[in-house]
Structure 1
């Protein structure tokens, strides 16, 4: 993974680094930083490239990569399939070699279409004076753009920075609707920039990608975007969404004597057809996790072979079905000697009443940040015992029962309001930008603290804790599960009002907007710690399998919460040996971690969040 930056100047304007942006990029790529400037003579333009590398695979490869003919590549991505990458190879070098051999736009699009995995890139093609850039099909890597018409400067960057409230609308996320090409010669002559768009095709329906509407709302001021007149496109890496609606659909026949949600899942698994569907999903998900946890060469893992002290893989962990399945499958593929870090974040609700005497006598070797106390029943309670902490602890016990030989580091990450406010102002507001809603603030802050991995782990059966910071550079997240398997309450509401047809339209919309609502923000937030977000539920093979199924195979919203939503995933969890975690109702991160309760409880998720403003 990398922090990438490109500045295109159509005039002789002197460029000065925005110090905040530079620091953000450097944190994304702490292993190597390098700059490069390309100057065109006829026409005259300047391209300034800056790359900051997080070394994840193969040999450490400096960026920007400049080939023998003068082409320049900035690559922020991982190849998990589609192009062969040997264990000793670096995927940046592989992509550069492939693009260097391309002699036409069709060949460049063919290379990009073949890649399986997340990516964002900028590519200067010297022959013809072209600048290419874009994001993968789902937008799993951040890329932002801004154009300064007065200075004739176009900026492309992995992460930006807020400067003033007046500048709030300047930065935009590059829409993940395709890749873009700038004719530098034409731009120089016009003094403005036109983006030629090569869209993804075969998406299956109009809801997923309404390219013209998306680009119209997102193109920088004083710039123009036009669909390529050549008819060339990128080929979608996933199969179309199954839009079929049955003539009639029988209600799920559940035995009346079954009195638990787990028993319902057990009964459903007696169906051979259900078993086949579950097995196919397990195969696809297991392979997706394998690609993401085994692509690290030994020398990247703390510069030494895997050991029993340092984890290479962490999971954003609530104890819910999405993260539990990722943990089980990671356990199948991470070397047995290595721990797996389970990152569980909680936000303090209120200051507990403390006796003066207890303040004078801190408990030895305890996590003094939790201010634990004992209730009337003799149970230890804490202001950080939020819902996700409770389900997380229960989930760890299930994982320990499944594999007691594995070291499961349950990292309790506790955040006070003071620290939240401090880090939001110093760092997080810049990373969330240009998104600006209350929901973006809540999730962005929760994910940032979770990904930092600084908390406490329990070291004795008596509950003694010690400070702990996760060493993992790969962080698995469960995003994509709810969007594909009807996990949100809005899906149930749409099903009640519009039936199967309405639910299908809602799910189609979810995948179409996941890049702009979630993925760019989460990539910026997690990358700020020099760590890489990986999304197994958005693996192309997983999405293709789920897209191939009719909606009623994935969810049955006639069943109650905790069973009907994400039904196929719950059956998968049960088949993998999980228990109560398989039937936990969906709880959004902002509520499970209780960050939403720390701020104004009367806000709506879609409201603009004034706390994200730096001014």
Structure 2
């Protein structure tokens, strides 16, 4: 377990534990760590029932089972699982709402359940038994090895795969050894009509093929959809900022002088419409006296587009919520810092390994570290602190998923231009179907390495459902120019709450808005243009290194 201890402890610094159980045919080994954000009492891990069953759980349950405010959601889930007949386990897991993954061994039935929420918001990697290594291994993150190998048995990343979202059953009694060696996991369907619809990502209203003339947010036809989305988003954000366990706060003695009160919640903050709206909704949900941290990373000596938009957005947030203490952490980094941490980053990203993965992962990892100068905005006054501080907020609100649902990327305009509304809908469906593999698992591994938890209000099941209940041309009308038609419904929401300037900002992916891609592309390919021609985004890092 040595290869896992460091990487798992970074993700879960509050508690760690191991358990080993032997059956007639197999040996089960659990190694679990905890970043505990729920429950009054400390939990012991892995969780063990009175009957001797074991569970490792990663995530949050916001709905689906009853969890009191002072209870731990994972402990409650184990109690419910132990009361559930084996055939009904998929039905119970299908009720859960929120980001989660788990491995659960039911001792009585000798069955291992492995599952990951429909959208894949929590990482889960798997090694399936093969001739070189007959073990079945599940892990949130790849182990670290001093010799540079990626796995215990193989130096290649093909040893691991990102487990597709869903519910899997693994019978481990001695009568099924041949099946175990062939393919130990049996995937079962979700037992929920709502999840089946979200999985197929089908829109309720097919009027997208016959849209009316282009609308704006002041049109009376748009208002009910805007209000409905705002209501769902408010609930989603409230769930994600209220389920935070009171704890003994700590400050990094090397970076703080003790004069900056700690915050419980931070926003990954570019100053664009997505993050600015999340910041405002967090303000509505969090106690008035609590500070809110806004984390912004820059790789261009403080002069990146995202840094400028974050500073402007801070001023606008101060105007709509003047009594709140807003704290913009200006996190300045460099390509050399990425290089120094490259080995660690590649291990966290695996099995993702493209040039784009490294750029995005590095920007997120450094931003989540939260170390930078602070600009505090409150009561109309801006106060700058030149000394370095560290945000100790353990909950990070992130804007993942809104671009995929609301046509925020440039390729969506290309598809709309070539394929019309049907082509755009197909492209969005494809984006949502692969979000777990391309983005969410990777980013969970990177952000959690900082001992922090990403929460995704735009991927709340009820928010996704609401967007599917809205005509496509109301969600995104690409007949309008960038900054207007893309994510138009979300832009109307931001305008409605007073974020007028933020509502018109155009989309910049984090690797471009922070200027990291500009520098890394110039070094690897000579220029951004050359990188685009070489399709750098999909090229593996090993290939880029050889260029």
TM-score normalised by L of structure 2: 0.89
Cα distance in 2 between the residues matched to 1:249 and 1:529: 45
Q: Structure 2: how far apart are the matches of 1:57 and 1:32?
A: 13
Query: Are the counterparts in 2 of residues 201 and 236 from structure 1 also a CA contact under 8 Å?
Result: no
**Superposition CA RMSD, Å:** 2.3
Task: Verify the 8 A CA contact 1:388 1:593 in the aligned structure 2.
Answer: yes
Q: 1:90 to 1:301 in 2, by over 3 A?
A: farther
Deviations 1:192-226 (A, max 9, x none): 1421111337789xxxxxxxxxxxxxxxxxxxxxx
CA deviations 1:138-193 (Å, max 9, x no partner) are 000000011353342111000004644842211111111x2111111245355614
Aligned with 2:157 (options 156, 168, 187)? 168
Q: Does the CA-based 8 Å contact 1:87-1:297 persist in structure 2?
A: no
Partner deviation per Cα, 1:534-563 (whole Å, 9 max, x = no partner): 000000110110011121110110001100
- What residue is the counterpart of 1:23 in the other structure? 6
Question: Which of 424, 429, 440 lines up with 1:503 in the alignment?
Answer: 424
| Structure-2 separation of matches of 1:116 and 1:465 | 42
Residue 397 (structure 1) aligns with: 315
- Give the Cα separation in 2 of the matches to 1:70 and 1:611: 48
Residue 181 of structure 1: which of 169, 174, 177 is its match? 169
**Displacement after TM superposition at 1:79 (Å):** 0.8
- The offset of 1:302, in angstroms, is 5.6
Task: Tell me how far 1:292 sits from its aligned partner.
Answer: 0.3
Query: What displacement does 1:132 show?
Result: 0.9
1:195 alignment counterpart: 185
2:68 to 86, 90, 106: 86
Does the aligned pair in 1 maintain the 2:371–2:389 contact within 8 Å? Answer: yes
Deviation of 1:422 after TM superposition, in Å, equals 0.6
| Gap runs ≥5 in structure 2 | 252-258
Which SS does the other structure have where 2:341 is aligned? helix
* CA pair 483-462 structure 1, distance change in 2 beyond 3 A: closer
Bigger proportion of residues as helix: 2
1:274 aligns with 2:222: yes
Separation (CA, whole Å) in 1 of partners of 2:442 and 2:386: 32
Per the alignment, do residues 612 and 474 of structure 1 end up closer, same or farther by CA in structure 2, a change over 3 Å counting? farther
Compared with structure 1, are the counterparts of its residues 115 and 86 closer, same or farther at alpha carbon in structure 2 (3 Å cutoff)? Answer: same
> Is the aligned partner of 1:446 residue 2:446?
no
* Equivalence for 1:515: 436
**Contact 1:52 1:63 (C-alpha < 8 Å) held by counterparts:** yes
1:190-229 matched pairs, under 5 angstroms? 192=181, 193-200=183-190
In 1: Cα distance, 2:214 partner to 2:36 partner: 50
Tell me whether 1:415 sits opposite 2:333 in the alignment: yes
State the 1:334 CA deviation: 1.1
Work out whether residues 232 and 462 of structure 2, in 8 Å CA contact, stay in contact via their aligned partners in 1: yes
1:119 is matched with: 100
Matched residue pairs, number?
511
- Cα deviation, residue 423, structure 1: 1.3
1:476 pairs with 2:466: no
1:458 to 356, 375, 383: 375
- Work out which of the two has the higher radius of gyration on C-alpha atoms and give 1 or 2: 1
**Range that drifts further, 183-192 or 123-132:** 183-192
Which segment drifts farther, 182-191 or 546-555? 182-191
Task: Find the aligned partners of 1:247 and 1:310 in 2 and give their Cα distance.
Answer: 50
For structure 1, list consecutive stretches of 5 or more residues without a partner in the other structure: 1-16, 205-233, 254-267, 349-382
User: 1:451 is paired with a residue of what secondary structure?
Assistant: helix
Assess, with a 3 A threshold, how the Cα gap between structure 1 residues 90 and 330 changes in structure 2: closer, same or farther: same
Aligned: 1:542 with 2:463: yes
Aligned equivalent of 2:306, options 383, 388, 401: 388
Change (3 A) 1:187 1:450: farther
**1:384-436 deviations in whole A, cap 9, x for unaligned?**
210000101000000011112111110011112221101122x2111101101
Does residue 1:65 correspond to 2:37, yes or no? no
Which SS does the other structure have where 1:153 is aligned?
Answer: coil
